Amino acid sequence: MSPFTGSASRTEAWRHLRLTLDDGVATITLSRPAKLNALTFGAYADLRDLLPELARDGSVRALVLGGAGRGFCSGGDVDDIIGATLAMDTGRLLDFNRMTGQVVRALRECPFPVIAAVHGVAAGAGAVLALAADFRIADPTARFAFLFTQVGLSGGDMGAAYLLPRVVGLGHATRLLMLGEPVKAEEAERIGLISTLTEEGQAPAAAQALARRLADGPALAHAQTKALLTAELDMPLSAAIELDAATQALLMHSADYAEFHAAFTAKRRPAWRGR
């Protein structure tokens, strides 16, 4: 994502979610607890616009995505979205589905690690938002359900058929996307869908602790590692090795690389600058 901005000013308030910034850590909270944080058209649009804005800001070094109340996100709002889409023509439907995919691309392409703090339900689009994060920190109440076939749609929504096999393998992904059955936290951890399973109620704190660790670390190295993990998913080994070599050569000119050597020589902790 380009750091260069045009004439548009920074957005000061977001209507469909909560944003907090704390010394390099951004926290996005989906905030419709009475509806289990079901997504509306506005919520999708805010996520689509906010993530690139945070990327251009340059000060964000880690992001936590969570949900208010009893769950993470129950997916698209049945009344506000599914009911409305029944009246849309094909062009409008294509615009909507492209927008939801842009949110997933933004999560994967933003130059900082994204940590999903999951408790309670993560269903439909909510499950895909968690899937698109770099880390999924969940507590025992978490349950994931890719429900798209249950409403008569393809399980491959918002990039799920691309991402999920790469996280849990083709066999598990086929079962989860085809049947739409919920997966509880214990099984999700077993198949690799959860990065870390915490004690009940501790997922937000654990996600914040990980975000702080990442934000205090070598941000440029983290950004390039994330970029390579995404870019190399479909590359042959020879191309991946060449991309790795070019990236390392560039990072060897970075201030952080020189700082590591200086800190090691002086027997002190590195003061990472992300440059």
**252 φ, ψ (degrees, to nearest 5):** -70, -10
Q: What's the chain look like in SS3? A: CCCCCCCCCCCCCCCCCEEEEECCEEEEEECCHHHCCCECHHHHHHHHHHHHHHHHHCCCCEEEEEECCCCCECCECHHHHHHHHCCCCHHHHHHHHHHHHHHHHHHHHCCCCEEEEECCEEECHHHHHHHHCCEEEECCCCEEECCHHHHCCCCCCCCHHHHHHHHHCHHHHHHHHHHCCCEEHHHHHHCCCCCEECCCCCHHHHHHHHHHHHHCCCHHHHHHHHHHHHHHHHCCHHHHHHHHHHHHHHHCCCHHHHHHHHHHHHCCCCCCCCC
Token reading at 112: 């900082």
Are residues 168 and 176 in contact, defined by beta-carbon separation less than 8 angstroms? yes
> Which pair of tokens denotes residue 42?
């506005």
Q: In angstroms, what CA-CA distances link 252 with 83, 97, 258?
A: 53, 41, 8
Contact present, 35 and 67 (Cβ < 8 Å): no
Per-residue pLDDT, 163: 97
Distance of CA 268 to the CA centre of its chain: 33
pLDDT computed for residue 2 by the predictor: 67
| Ramachandran quadrant class, 180 (left: phi over 0; alpha: psi -120 to 50; beta: rest) | left
Q: What are phi and psi of 71, to 5 degrees?
A: -155, 170
pTM: 0.94
Q: Look at residue 143 in the predicted model and tell me its pLDDT.
A: 98
Q: Using alpha carbons, select from 106, 98, 94, 101 the residue that is nearest to residue 133.
A: 106
Contacts 24+ apart (CB under 8 A), 92-96: 96/41
Per-residue pLDDT of the chain (275 residues; tens, 9 = 90+): 666 677 677 787 899 999 999 999 999 999 999 999 999 999 999 999 999 999 998 899 999 999 999 999 999 999 889 889 999 999 999 999 999 999 999 999 999 999 999 999 999 999 999 999 999 999 999 999 999 999 999 999 999 999 999 999 999 999 999 999 999 999 999 999 999 999 999 999 999 999 999 999 999 999 999 999 999 999 999 999 999 999 999 999 999 999 999 999 999 999 999 88
Task: Please check whether residue 11 is in contact with residue 70, taking contact to mean a CB–CB distance below 8 angstroms.
Answer: no
